[in-house]
């Protein structure tokens, strides 16, 4: 009896193996086979046995999705609904819409169907880009970006403001000047410009967030040059800035937009980290001098006054790799840093700050 059971088990294994070899081209095929054996024992009693069901599945699964219709750019008036649509072919498809902000693609909560509708759009959203990621068991594919343009209500007859001369990093005391000729607009129309600053939580003065939100959206009207940003209630942070032209007849222009970081003009937000720097905890991590005013210079000295390193920040931050100006590694000890801001047009007026930094190797 045991010998026959072993033989049946081997037979079932051989059948399943032969089926797999014989049907390599079939996809997701289920094959059922039942075998029976009849025999007599030594006393002449008759018995029969049946094998278990054998199921064999072969194939590689569904193909990856294919986009058949890319999302298109959408222009909408303030307060309207802007709708993006994607077409895709494939089985078991799922969708995830994303928007781009500061170079990052961020998932939009609940946007998981082939159409994404933005209701009550505002000027602060103009210039945002959207994509859709389509997925199934075979893989995923991302659409081309589509751009949202939001225009003010009224008749759009004026030319869009030219923002090419406005920097991406400015100080609180700075004013902004449009690179737009007076001749571009009829002087008799008394053209002015409406600015909106949508403050993002993704900014150099807060922990990065995966979700964009508008914390505050100061808005004001100006001529070709704005007053200082601080005088209009703008605070430090990163903004999506939008501006459009309007005239005495109520006509408007399309909206122009750019991303801008507004920084301090003093050292009230300065951070130096890690301090102390310890090799057992921070090996491979530079020392950061962060949230500095624009136009700052960092110099690092020994306690005896010997100049060790001069740093030129990129924007509002500089990093020190714990080497000298000649490239040698510094030793353990106490170092003194001096940060100065000259009168370079950023409102610094010769400000300076000193501090100590410990290095433990």
Which domains does the chain carry?
Answer: 2-50 (no CATH), 66-151 (2.60.40.10), 169-263 (2.60.40), 271-360 (2.60.40.1220)
* Residues 6+ positions from 356 with CB-CB distance below 8 Å: 334, 335, 336, 337
Element (H, E) at 140: strand 139-142
**Whole-number pLDDT of residue 217:** 66
- Give the whole-number percent of the chain exceeding pLDDT 70: 73
CA separation (Å) from 84 to 45, 136, 147?
76, 21, 10
Which of the pair, 55 or 172, is modelled with greater confidence? 172
To the nearest whole number, what is the mean pLDDT of the chain?
Answer: 78
Out of 4-8, 166-170, 319-323, 326-330, pick the least confident: 4-8
Structure confidence at residue 45 as a pLDDT band (50, 70, 90): low
Q: What angle do CA 217, 221, 226 make, to 5 degrees?
A: 95
Query: What is the mean predicted confidence (pLDDT) over 2-9?
Result: 42
DSSP letters, 196-207, are: EEEEES-STTS-
Greatest mean pLDDT among 24-33, 220-229, 339-348 lies in 220-229
The proportion of the chain whose per-residue pLDDT surpasses 90, expressed as a percent, equals 38
Peptide bond before residue 276 is cis, with ω within 30 degrees of 0? yes
Core vs surface per residue 44-83: b (16+ CB within 10 A) or e:
eeeeeeeeeebebeeeeebeebebeeebeebbbebebebe
User: What's the chain's Rg over C-alpha atoms?
Assistant: 34
Per-residue pLDDT averaged across 94-106, rounded? 87
Residue 294 — pLDDT band, cuts 50, 70, 90?
confident
What is the rounded distance in angstroms from the CA atom of residue 349 to the CA atom of residue 330? 32
pLDDT digit string, tens, across residues 101-130: 767 899 999 999 999 999 998 877 888 899
pLDDT for 349? 56
Where do runs of H (alpha helix) occur along the chain?
A: 2-22, 279-282
Lowest mean pLDDT among 99-113, 193-207, 292-306, 330-344: 193-207
- Model-level pTM? 0.48
Are 223 and 231 in contact by the 8 Å Cβ rule? The answer is no
In contact, 74 and 82? CB cutoff 8 Å = yes
| Beta-carbon-side half-sphere exposure of residue 260 (alpha carbons within 13 Å) | 29
Give me the pLDDT at residue 276, please.
96
Q: Which of 46-55, 189-198, 208-217 has the lowest mean pLDDT?
A: 208-217
Per-residue pLDDT, 5: 43
């Amino acid at each position: 009896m045991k010998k026959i059971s072993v033989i049946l088990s081997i037979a079932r294994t051989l059948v399943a193996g032969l089926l797999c070899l014989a049907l390599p081209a079939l996809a997701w095929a289920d094959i059922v086979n039942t075998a029976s054996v009849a025999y007599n024992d030594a006393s002449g009693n008759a018995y029969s046995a049946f094998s278990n069901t054998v199921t064999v599945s072969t194939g590689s699964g569904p193909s990856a999705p294919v986009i058949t219709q890319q999302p298109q750019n959408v222009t909408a008036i303030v307060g309207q609904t802007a709708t993006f649509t994607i077409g895709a072919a494939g089985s078991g498809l799922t969708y995830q819409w994303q928007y781009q902000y500061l170079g990052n693609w961020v998932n939009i909560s609940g946007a998981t169907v082939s159409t994404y509708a933005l209701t009550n759009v505002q000027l602060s959203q103009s210039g945002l880009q959207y994509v859709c990621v389509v997925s199934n068991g075979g893989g995923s594919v991302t659409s081309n970006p589509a751009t949202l343009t939001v225009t003010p209500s009224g008749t759009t007859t004026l030319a869009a403001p030219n923002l090419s001369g406005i920097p991406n990093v400015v100080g609180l005391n700075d004013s902004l000047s449009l690179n737009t000729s007076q001749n571009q607009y009829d002087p008799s129309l008394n053209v002015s410009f409406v600015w909106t600053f949508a403050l993002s939580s993704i900014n150099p003065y807060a922990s990065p967030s995966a979700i964009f939100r508008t914390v505050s959206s100061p808005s004001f009207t100006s001529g070709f040059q704005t007053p200082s940003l601080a005088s209009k209630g703008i605070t430090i942070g990163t903004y999506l800035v939008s501006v459009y032209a309007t005239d005495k007849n109520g006509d408007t222009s399309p909206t122009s937009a750019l991303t801008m970081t507004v920084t301090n003009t003093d050292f009230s937000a300065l951070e130096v980290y890690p301090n102390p720097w310890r090799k057992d905890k921070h090996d491979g991590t530079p020392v950061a001098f962060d949230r500095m005013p624009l136009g700052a210079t960092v110099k690092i000295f020994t306690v005896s006054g010997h100049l060790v390193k001069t740093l030129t920040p990129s924007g509002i931050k500089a990093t020190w790799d714990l080497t000298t100006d000649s490239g040698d590694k510094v030793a353990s000890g106490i170092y003194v840093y001096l940060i100065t801001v000259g009168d370079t047009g950023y409102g610094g007026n010769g400000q300076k700050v000193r501090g100590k930094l410990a290095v433990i190797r």
